[in-house]
Amino acid sequence: MPTPLTAGSVPRAPRPSRRSVLAAMAAAVPAAGLPVLSGRASAAPAAGALPGGGDLGPNVLVFDPATPNIQGTLDEIFKRQESAQFGEGRFALLFKPGTYRGLNAQIGFYTSIAGLGLSPGDTTFHGDVTVDAGWFNGNATQNFWRSAENLTLHPVNGTNRWAVAQAAPFRRMHIKGGLNLAPDGYGWASGGYIADSRIDGSVAPYSQQQWYTRDSSVGGWNNAVWNMVFSGVEGAPAQSFPDPPYTTLDTTPVSREKPFLYLDGADYKVFLPEKRTNARGTTWGSGTPRGESLPLGQFYVAKPGVDAATLNAALAQGLNLLLTPGIYHLDRPVEVRRPNAVVLGLGYPTLVPDSGATAMKVADVDGVRLAGFLIDAGPVNSATLLEVGPEGASADHAANPTTVQDVFIRIGGAGPGKATTSMVINSNHTLIDHTWVWRADHGDGVGWETNRADYGVRVNGNDVLATGLFVEHFNKYDVEWRGERGRTVFFQNEKAYDAPNQAAIQNGDIKGYAAYKIADGVTTHEGWGLGSYCYYNVDPTIRQDHGFQAPAKPGVKLHHLLVVSLGGKGQYEHVINSIGAPTSGTSTVPSTVVSYP
């Protein structure tokens, strides 16, 4: 993630080497001796059938207010996960409804914390849920893969710190105070995403380069660096891009909140929030959230070590999937063929297609919900990693779309990985609500050809909406949009750091592949708050013609675009097509276009 930035008079921490963190990474260790959740078992299945419900395994830890030494357990998990950026540890920390006092839950890599009530107010901390960057010398740009959900916090000093980068959602949270999005010392920070949350006080992003907030309520917003986007947020600042760079939509066109696990008495259930159109504010501020619940018995509770054939058998049997924390190696795709099927992950379960398969394929059916997991490319090239709908999908899903939420994709970093196209959306009306699709720029198995991945996200379906689209470092197009009537609210991108020379990224007579390309044949498309950065550190002389490429048609409209050269490592000639001033020098000042055309 990017390093240089400016944010008014906020002090800056020294910039560490991009790769200095690697020596400090520690592999996670097993969770022996920690408390284990045992869900209420469901009725015995028919002969030969897979069971629903049951035990959630050793890396799902459930607490109630009477649990002894909660702080000690939280500290132990954090010790294991604080710097384990590419480790194998995965944890979900779940808190039963009640009041907890004097806790500071520090959240490290691959760790999710959540309340088990139906609404955030059911589970209350008089304490903090903290992300900081001490492990990386005060630099928060690599605080990836962690989450907080469904809690009410009374921060000890009045302000909770959540200094995160990509793939770190903050959902269904109520902060009875302020929220600080910067690390201690105000070092580099590059995030982030908030949805369905209420912050009674002000949000202070300080050094955060970009942020997207959706369907929430804030008491104020105190700063902007490059790209702050709001949709459906009560209390959001007025639209003022580019100075300050606020993009504000009164409502979100279509949204449906992420499914979540909760307790109904002694029984575990999964709540499925209903779809909203032109939403504003939280789903839970006026009483019980609207939606439906499924008992845990309707889920196959998967554990690491289970194979794709078993997952597919469970889906074919009519069960949904609850993926518990861990790493799942796949020799074939997980096939989601049933309308309204749910695949929900706890604690960043990670799917690895070892032999070049696609990790997951979804049929062209209504209402599938994919949420809360990571797909890690394997060492053999996969043509795709996630496919929503087959090629040529044509059904209308406007009333009940498929949702892809907090589903993250990674190529390289944890080891060798390759994929030609990471995420392909063929089904019409699909909602992509917060994804980070990342060709790794650091870690193991990283190099221009070593973790080759030409395309990040390709959208072929019509009427697809992306809210919170983070896509970075692909060898060619990061996003390629071919479907009609597509919409994106917030886009964050970096071009690949490691292009060896100008020739390696030459695209016919165009210098460089656009970060976000709308296909020439598209007649209608709209986007708000879109940013692309370059940091060509291998060859700083590389020139990129533009960050965005779009056909010149009346129905293609883009609002609030920016490109940034990070420290002068490469430059953009234009913002979109041949429009917009070039970046120049080492000033790391964005070049902006307020509207296209």
Catalytic positions, written as ranges: 494
Look up tokens 């209504």; give the residue.
366
Q: Specify whether the CB–CB gap between 187 and 207 falls below 8 A.
A: yes
Q: Could you give the count of Cα atoms lying within 13 Å of 261 in the half-sphere of its Cβ?
A: 34
Angle 126-129-134 (CA atoms, 0-180°, nearest 5)?
135
Strand locations in 167-279 (E)? 170-171, 174-175, 178-180, 193-195, 198-204, 210-221, 227-234, 246-249, 252-256, 260-264, 267-273, 275-279
Amino acid letter, residue 115: G
Measuring CA to CA, which residue among 259, 257, 262, 258 is closest to residue 281? 257
Amino acid letter, residue 151: L
Measuring CA to CA, which residue among 421, 515, 525 is closest to residue 472? 515
Find all residues with CB under 8 Å of 10, minimum gap 6, and list them: 182, 186, 206, 207, 223
Measuring CA to CA, which residue among 349, 357, 512 is closest to residue 419? 357
Q: Specify whether the CB–CB gap between 156 and 180 falls below 8 A.
A: no
Measuring CA to CA, which residue among 91, 94, 95 is closest to residue 65? 95
Token representation of residue 303: 């554990």
Using the CB atoms, write b or e for 311-344: b if 16+ within 10 Å. Answer: bbebbeeebbbbbbbbbbbbebbbbbebeebbbb
Token representation of residue 597: 């055309």
DSSP code, position 58 = T
Residue 251 has a CB neighbour count (10 Å cut-off) of 16
Residue 45 has a CB neighbour count (10 Å cut-off) of 14
Strand order in the sheet with 479-481: 334-336, 360-362, 382-388, 419-425, 455-459, 479-481, 516-518, 548-549
DSSP code, position 203 = E
Angstrom distance (rounded) from CA 112 to CA 541? 41
Q: What are phi and psi of 77, to 5 degrees?
A: -60, -45
Q: Could you give the count of Cα atoms lying within 13 Å of 75 in the half-sphere of its Cβ?
A: 6
3 state SS of 557: strand
Angstrom distance (rounded) from CA 324 to CA 345? 6
